Amino acid sequence: MNPVFFDSIIIETPKNRIYSRLGYAKGKTNLAESQKEKVERYIEEALTFINLKGTALRLSIEAMNSSEVRLKGGVCFNGKALIKTLDSCKELLIMGATAGNGVMKAIADNSTAGDITSSVIFDAVASEMADAALDWIMNYFNRQLIRENKHFARMRFSAGYGDFSLDSQKLIYDILKMERIGVTLTKEYIFVPEKSVTAVVGIKPISN
């Protein structure tokens, strides 16, 4: 099972999501021009430290019951909430992405220097960029799925959400060979760099 690696993911900055994570509700929160300029400056600075990479693998579903799905190669995931999203699915896309070490070092350096504002904004940018990289990966595979008359299930799931146990991160990490994109995993199933994410999403035929 060989995943596809993406050594450089280039995406549009998800500004609305970044502002939302920072607590600024579009249409409800009024930012003074000087404040907005400062936030924008920090966003642009944070981007210079981010190096998005990703990895993904499609696996066919061999068997499934109400609480477990077994994939090609003997891979098994457990979780009733996950299984509910896989109705009619024949495959699973497993994917991971990271914002890299650079931005985490910048966050730590800013925090040590007492610049809490920049640390918070850098953190929000890194989080949303990593999540947006998963969107990019799904869009990449969606072009293949369209040609195969298939589409993604409505929801994607991450380990640690609902009853999809966090320890599944180890299996996902190994399947995706995430060390190849510079990510390690602690014994508590936490990714390093911290701004690294994974998710799984079902693939189903388009009904005629």
For the stretch 16-56, pLDDT in tens is: 999 999 988 666 667 778 888 999 999 999 999 999 999 99
pLDDT of the residue at 29:
66
Q: What is the pLDDT of residue 67?
A: 87
The rounded mean pLDDT for the chain is 93
Question: How far is residue 200's CA from residue 118's CA, in Å, rounded to a whole number?
Answer: 32
Q: Which of 141, 126, 151 is nearest to 55 (CA)?
A: 141
Residue 10, amino acid = I
Task: Residue 153: give the domain boundaries.
Answer: 4-205
Task: Band the pLDDT of 151: cuts 50, 70, 90.
Answer: very high
What is the tally of structural domains in the chain? Answer: 1
At residue 161, the pLDDT reads 87
The DSSP code sequence of 141-201 is HHHHHHHTTEEEEEEEE-TTSTTS-TTHHHHHHHHHTGGGGT-EE-TTS-EESSSEEEEEE
Rounded to an integer, what distance in angstroms lies between the CA atom of residue 117 and that of residue 22?
10
Number of helical H runs and strand E runs in the chain: 6, 9
pLDDT computed for residue 35 by the predictor? 85
pLDDT given for residue 103 in this prediction: 96
- CATH number, domain of 70, equals 3.40.109.40
Q: At what angle do helices 33-47 and 116-147 cross, to 10 degrees?
A: 60
Note the residue count of the chain.
Answer: 208
The bridge status of strand 76-78 relative to strand 68-71 is antiparallel
